C-alpha cells in the first residue's frame, strides 16, 4: 500500500506553486507509506545545459570541491547546487555521460537520482513532510511533477529503493502495486543496455518504458504495451519532459482518482490528496478505468 500523487499544470500562473501543491498532496498520503518518500519536479530548460541530481550519505565532505573535480575531469564547466543530501549538477548536455563516468570514477558511493534537461528528483527514507522539508520542495516551481510515499514490499527501505525512478533522460515513474515478472524482465532489459541499479520491481517498470521509448514508442504506446508485458497489479504515474501519463492494470485493484480543470490535471491514490487544489469543487473528477492509458502533453 503506497501513496502516489501527480500534478500536470496547464495554467502557467500556477507554476510557482507546483512544489507547494505537490508537497501538500503527498503529505496527505503519509499513512499509505511511511517508509520513504520522493518527488520529481520538471522545471525550466536552459539551452545546451542538462542536470544530474545526485545524493550522498556524507554530503558535507563529498560535495566539497566536487564541481571543480568534475570540471577538470570532463574539460567543461560544472556547477553544483547542494540541497541537504542531494545536489543538482549543471553540465553541458554533450558532457552528461562523461560527467556520469567521472562521478563513478571519483566516488562510486555517489548515487545519481535523475538525469535530464529539466527533471530534478529528491528522495530519502522518512515521512513525506520530513523529506519535503529537507529539500524545501514547497519553494520549487515547475510545469509538472509526481510524488510517492512508500510502504516497502519487494525490496529494502533505502534511498535508492524509494520512488520516483529515473531510467531515461527526463523520464520517471512512481508505482503502487507489485510485479511478478520483474526478475526475468530485469535480466532482459540489462541485456538491452538499459541501466537498472536496484532490486525494486518498480525500477524495472520504469526501465521497461525507457526501453520502449528508446525504440521509437511514444509514452502512450509504451504504457499500452505495459498492459501486455508486465504481470501483476499496478498503477503507474509517469513523467516525461513534456508529458504526464497514468495507467492501471486490467484488474485495477489499487485505488486511484483523477481530477481535471482548465488549470491542471491531478492524480491521487485517494481523493483526499486532491481536496486542497484550486477549483477542485468544480473539477471533473473520475476513477481511471482499468487497462486504459491517460496522458497529457504540453
Per-residue pLDDT 10s for the chain (298 aa) are 799 999 999 999 999 999 999 999 999 999 998 889 999 999 999 999 999 999 999 999 999 999 999 999 999 999 999 999 999 999 999 999 999 999 999 999 999 999 999 999 999 999 999 999 999 999 999 999 999 998 766 667 788 888 999 999 999 999 999 999 999 999 999 999 998 988 889 999 999 999 999 999 998 899 999 999 999 999 999 999 998 999 999 999 999 999 999 999 999 999 999 999 999 999 999 999 999 999 999 8
- Catalytic residue, chosen from 1, 2, 22, 199, is 2
In three-state form (DSSP H/G/I as H, E/B as E, the rest C), the secondary structure along the chain is CCEEEEEEECCHHHHHHHHHHHHHHHHHCHHHCCCEEEEEEECCCCCCEEEEEEECCCHHHHCCCHHHHHHHHHCCCCEEEEECCEEEEEEEHHHHHHHHHHHHHHCCCCEEEEEECCEEEEEEECCHHHHHHHCCHHHCCCCEEEEEEECCCCCCCCCCCCCCEEEECCEEEEEEEEECCHHHHHHHHHHCCCCCCCCCHHHHHHHHHHHHHHCCCCHHHHHHHHHHHCCEEEEEEEECCCEEEEEECCCCCCCCEEEECCCEEEEECCHHHCCCCCCHHHCEEECCCCCCCEEEEC
pLDDT at residue 154, as a whole number:
61
What pairs with residue 8 in β-bridges? 144, 265
Please tell me the pTM assigned to this model: 0.95
Q: In this structure, are residues 291 and 39 in contact, taking their beta carbons and an 8 Å threshold?
A: no
Q: How far is CA 94 from the centre of its chain?
A: 23
pLDDT at residue 173, as a whole number:
96
pLDDT at residue 33, as a whole number:
82
Q: Identify the CA nearest to 243 among candidates 89, 120, 119.
A: 119
Q: Would you give the end-to-end CA distance of the chain in angstroms?
A: 31
Q: In this structure, are residues 88 and 52 in contact, taking their beta carbons and an 8 Å threshold?
A: yes
Q: Could you give the CA distance from residue 259 to residue 274 in angstroms, rounded to a whole number?
A: 8
2 among known catalytic residues: yes
Q: In this structure, are residues 236 and 264 in contact, taking their beta carbons and an 8 Å threshold?
A: no
pLDDT at residue 45, as a whole number:
95
Amino acid at each position: 500500500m503506497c501513496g502516489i500523487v501527480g500534478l500536470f499544470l496547464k495554467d502557467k500562473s500556477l507554476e510557482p506553486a507546483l512544489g507547494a501543491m505537490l508537497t501538500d498532496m503527498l503529505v496527505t498520503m503519509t499513512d499509505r507509506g511511511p517508509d520513504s518518500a520522493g518527488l520529481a519536479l520538471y522545471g525550466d530548460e536552459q539551452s545546451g545545459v542538462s542536470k544530474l541530481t545526485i545524493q550522498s550519505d556524507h554530503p558535507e565532505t563529498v560535495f566539497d570541491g566536487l564541481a571543480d573535480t568534475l570540471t577538470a575531469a570532463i574539460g567543461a564547466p560544472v556547477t553544483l547546487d547542494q540541497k541537504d543530501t542531494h545536489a543538482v549538477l549543471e553540465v553541458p548536455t554533450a558532457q552528461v555521460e562523461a560527467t556520469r563516468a567521472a562521478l563513478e570514477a571519483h566516488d562510486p558511493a555517489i548515487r545519481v537520482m535523475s538525469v535530464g534537461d529539466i527533471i530534478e528528483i529528491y528522495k530519502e527514507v522518512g515521512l513525506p513532510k520530513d523529506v519535503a522539508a529537507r529539500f524545501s520542495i514547497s519553494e520549487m516551481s515547475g510545469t509538472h511533477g509526481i510524488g510517492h510515499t512508500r510502504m516497502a514490499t519487494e525490496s529494502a527501505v533505502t534511498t535508492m529503493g524509494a520512488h520516483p525512478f529515473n531510467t531515461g533522460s527526463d523520464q520517471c515513474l512512481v508505482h503502487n502495486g507489485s510485479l511478478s515478472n520483474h526478475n526475468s524482465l530485469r535480466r532482459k532489459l540489462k541485456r538491452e543496455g538499459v541501466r537498472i541499479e536496484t532490486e525494486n520491481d518498480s525500477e524495472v517498470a520504469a526501465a521497461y518504458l525507457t526501453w520502449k521509448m528508446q525504440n521509437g514508442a511514444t509514452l502512450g504506446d509504451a504504457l499500452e504495451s505495459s498492459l501486455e508485458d508486465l504481470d501483476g497489479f499496478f498503477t503507474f504515474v509517469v513523467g516525461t519532459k513534456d508529458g504526464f501519463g497514468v495507467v492501471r492494470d486490467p484488474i485495477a485493484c489499487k485505488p486511484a482518482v483523477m481530477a481535471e480543470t482548465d488549470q491542471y490535471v491531478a492524480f491521487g491514490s485517494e481523493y483526499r490528496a486532491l481536496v486542497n487544489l484550486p477549483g477542485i469543487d468544480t473539477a471533473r473528477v473520475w476513477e481511471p478505468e482499468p487497462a486504459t492509458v491517460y496522458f497529457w502533453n504540453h
